[in-house]
Amino acid sequence: MGYLDTTNELYKEAALIPQDGLCCVTSKSRFLPGLTIPAVMQEMNYGCGTTVHFGDLSHEETILYVGVGGGLEALQFAYFTRRPKSVIAVDKVPEMLDKARQNLELATKMNAWFRPDFIYLINGDALSLPVETESVTVAAQNCLFNIFEQDDLTKALAEMHRVLKPGGRFYISDPITTKPIPEQLRKDERLRAMCLSGVSTYQEYLNKIVSAGFGTIEIQARRPFRVLDKDRYGLSENILLESIDLVAYKNPALASGARIFAGETLIYFGKERLRDEDGRIIPRDIPHPVCQKTADYFRKLNRCDVVVTAPTYHYNGINNGCC
Ligand SMILES: C[S@@+](CC[C@H](N)C(=O)[O-])C[C@H]1O[C@@H](n2cnc3c(N)ncnc32)[C@H](O)[C@@H]1O
């Protein structure tokens, strides 16, 4: 049995018997007026953060959600779109799709505005999506891609890039690791399926997303997730895992590379006009969100009339940064 089969088995079990705490969610499910979430759906929240960023969503979106789980985030997305088939929710495990369907039936009884046909549940694989090229404006996955081995992760990211329309957004929530995970643990298929041992580092993950063709990335949250402790997992030291929420845009990278906004801000308080490395004017006395490469450019210049702050990893300004 390969790790993909082990993953299917684990999520079959998690569909048949909801496992509160299978993935430990690091952000609270936010309150939306008029949205009541069935308790079982909440219990089956197998994500690690959130991909539903309320300020970014409009009624017109067509949303692809891969790895539907109990259906919580698909329901939250449908809250915004409210059109038939406006949320396409894919899962590879038939038992999980059945469970999501039942949970959405419950949600129909609890929410007068909701109709099950808003969400098109479909059996499919993240590695080969049953979705047309350039057909969705938003794509999302929560706590699935971290499970994939590197070659499969490349395929899954390429698939998300393929199905998005130009300018479309890909929301990710996934665990990452602060230190490389030893090979013996990476090979543990069950731990991998539980989102614990296949995870990449922050930089590895971003490199993969950029290589898939996404030209702008905004880091929306980065929080502590779990500890792989040395006694339980036979390690030489404890390893802190974090969870990351980000959005990657299907837009072309600049000649100088992709732009990664991680909450770094530049404040210029000098006298003459200041330009960045690409010739754009930096406003005076105004906090100016900058991408990592602009932040690094000014750090190296070490000017006495510029302050560049450290990344906060909580950035949510859509495309209003330096680039
Ligand atoms: C950790 S759960 C996350 C569920 C949901 N996204 C959430 O946040 O609650 C992973 C989900 O991905 C599904 N899955 C596993 N392998 C998959 C694949 N190759 N393609 C699509 N879905 C898959 C599982 O059945 C499960 O529903």
Q: What is the pLDDT along the chain (323 residues), one digit of tens a residue?
A: 799 999 999 999 999 987 766 766 656 667 899 999 999 999 999 999 999 998 899 999 999 999 999 999 999 999 999 999 999 999 999 999 999 999 999 999 999 999 999 999 999 999 999 999 999 999 999 999 999 999 999 999 999 999 999 999 999 999 999 999 999 999 999 999 999 999 999 999 999 999 999 999 999 999 999 999 999 999 999 999 999 999 999 999 988 899 999 999 999 999 999 999 989 999 999 999 999 999 999 999 999 999 999 999 999 774 444 44
Atom of ligand 1 nearest to the CA of 45: 9
pLDDT at 321: 45
CA-wise closest residue to 23 among 186, 206, 146, 123: 146
Q: 289 forms bridges with which residues in the sheet?
A: 265
Query: Mutation test of ligand 1: which of 17, 144, 171 has the most ligand atoms closer than 8 Å to its C-beta?
Result: 144
Label residue 40 exposed, middle or buried (CB < 10 Å: 0-12, 13-18, 19+). Answer: middle
- 278 near 268, Cβ under 8 Å? no
Residue located nearest, by CA, to atom 16 of ligand 1: 92
Percent of the chain as helix, strand, coil, to the nearest 5: 30, 25, 45
Residues with beta carbon inside 6 Å of ligand 1? 7, 11, 23, 45-47, 66-70, 72-73, 90-93, 96, 125-127, 142-144, 195
> CA–CA separation, 164 vs 219, rounded Å?
19
Q: 259 forms bridges with which residues in the sheet?
A: 216
pLDDT at 27: 62
Sort strands 265-268 and 239-249 into parallel, antiparallel or unpaired: unpaired
For 138, residues 6+ apart whose C-beta sits below 8 A from its C-beta are: 57, 61, 62, 63, 64, 77, 164, 168, 169, 170, 171
Q: Could you tell me the distance, in angstroms and rounded to a whole number, from the CA of residue 250 to the centre of ligand 1? A: 23
Instruction: Assign residue 80 a region (left: φ > 0; alpha: ψ between -120 and 50; beta: otherwise).
Output: alpha
Atom of ligand 1 nearest to the CA of 70: 9
Q: Could you tell me the distance, in angstroms and rounded to a whole number, from the CA of residue 192 to the centre of ligand 1? A: 13
- Alpha carbon of residue 152 to chain centroid: 17
Other Cβ atoms within 10 Å of 84 Cβ, number: 12
Residue 293 host element (H or E): helix 292-301
> CA–CA separation, 317 vs 130, rounded Å?
32
> CA–CA separation, 181 vs 48, rounded Å?
19
> CA–CA separation, 244 vs 3, rounded Å?
23
Instruction: Determine phi and psi for 137, rounding to 5 degrees.
Output: -95, -25
Residue located nearest, by CA, to atom 3 of ligand 1: 46
Q: Could you tell me the distance, in angstroms and rounded to a whole number, from the CA of residue 296 to the centre of ligand 1? A: 37
For 97, residues 6+ apart whose C-beta sits below 8 A from its C-beta are: 68, 91, 121, 122, 123
- Alpha carbon of residue 38 to chain centroid: 23
